[in-house]
Amino acid sequence: MEMPTAENPVVVHNGDCLDLLRRLPDGCVDAVITDPPYSSGGFTRSDKAAPVAEKYQQNGTERQYAGFSGDNRDSRSWSYWCCLWLSECQRIAKPGGYCLLFTDWRQLPATTDAIQGGGWIWRGLVPWDKGLAARAPHKGYFRHQCEYVVWGTNGACDVPPNDDPRGGPWAGCFQVPVVQSDKHHLTGKPTELMRQLVKVVPLGGVVLDPFAGSGTTGAAAVIEGRRAILIEKEPVYVDVTRRRIAKASGAGSLFAGATN
């Protein structure tokens, strides 16, 4: 499979995550950073089978996003499927490499099970606080204004603590509001947030995102001077991603801000 280079730092593959992951060689990426389908909307089979826009967008919303697939598993199948692709990712990651998974409050416990089931060492939890605008408020509720990054490593980092080459420590809670003009997918994340996350790999390092969506992980990697392998099932989002990456690569001035 084609790998990213210094000249062409982002490679976008169109196809099924598990199928394409199996073709990647061992130990070729520094981190897996991704936002898998949560399968958390709806309790019944038909609820889950509904198009994602019906599940996650409120009635009367003008803005339209293309649908995405893979969001219709029940809880046991979801966990099983996550273990499959997470073990594959572990094989592809270097020893000591990182795994960062987005999840919502409802799927958080299943996600911490899945990352460990996939062979990673679970190391912690980082909330992403979207702010007070995030969600329709209901009386008697605490706002659901956070999503969560479940993170772990592929084994331990085997260097003496005194000359640990890793960066950080990084923030343990991100306050980043959602900006609509920066959102190209129903579940798109702010570029600013992803720019902070890709810093877990060193400059020039490689990030793998098997559920790339509109490609924010790849755009952030380019801006921060990292490389990325992206996998996305929906052709329409592969196109969106290629356009965004081309734009981010052209914006040479942004490279100036890249730091370790």
Partner DNA sequence: TGTAGGTATGAATCCGACT
Partner DNA sequence: AAGTCGGATTCATACCTAC
Among residues 170 and 255, whose Cβ is nearest to a copy of itself? Answer: 170
Residue 95 touching a copy of itself (CB under 8 A) = no
Task: Say which entry of a copy of itself, DNA, none residue 126 contacts (CB below 5 to 8 A, set by partner kind).
Answer: a copy of itself
User: Do residues 77 and 71 make contact, with C-beta atoms less than 8 angstroms apart?
Assistant: no
Q: Residue 88, SS3?
A: helix
CB atoms within 10 A of CB 129: 14
Binding residues for DNA, rule: CB under 7 A, are 35-38, 40-41, 44-47, 56-63, 71, 102, 104, 106, 123-124, 130-139, 141, 144, 147, 156-158, 160-162, 169, 177-182, 186-187
Cis preceding-peptide flag for 165 (omega within 30 of 0) = no
19 burial via Cβ count (<10 Å: 0-12, 13-18, 19+): exposed
Among residues 3 and 159, whose Cβ is nearest to a copy of itself? Answer: 159
Between CA 42 and CA 72 the distance in angstroms is 9
Task: Say which entry of a copy of itself, DNA, none residue 256 contacts (CB below 5 to 8 A, set by partner kind).
Answer: none
Task: Say which entry of a copy of itself, DNA, none residue 147 contacts (CB below 5 to 8 A, set by partner kind).
Answer: DNA
Between CA 190 and CA 216 the distance in angstroms is 8
Which residues of the chain form contacts with a copy of itself (CB under 8 A)? 105, 108-109, 112-113, 123-127, 129, 132, 134-135, 137-146, 148-149, 151, 153, 157, 161, 164, 166-173, 200
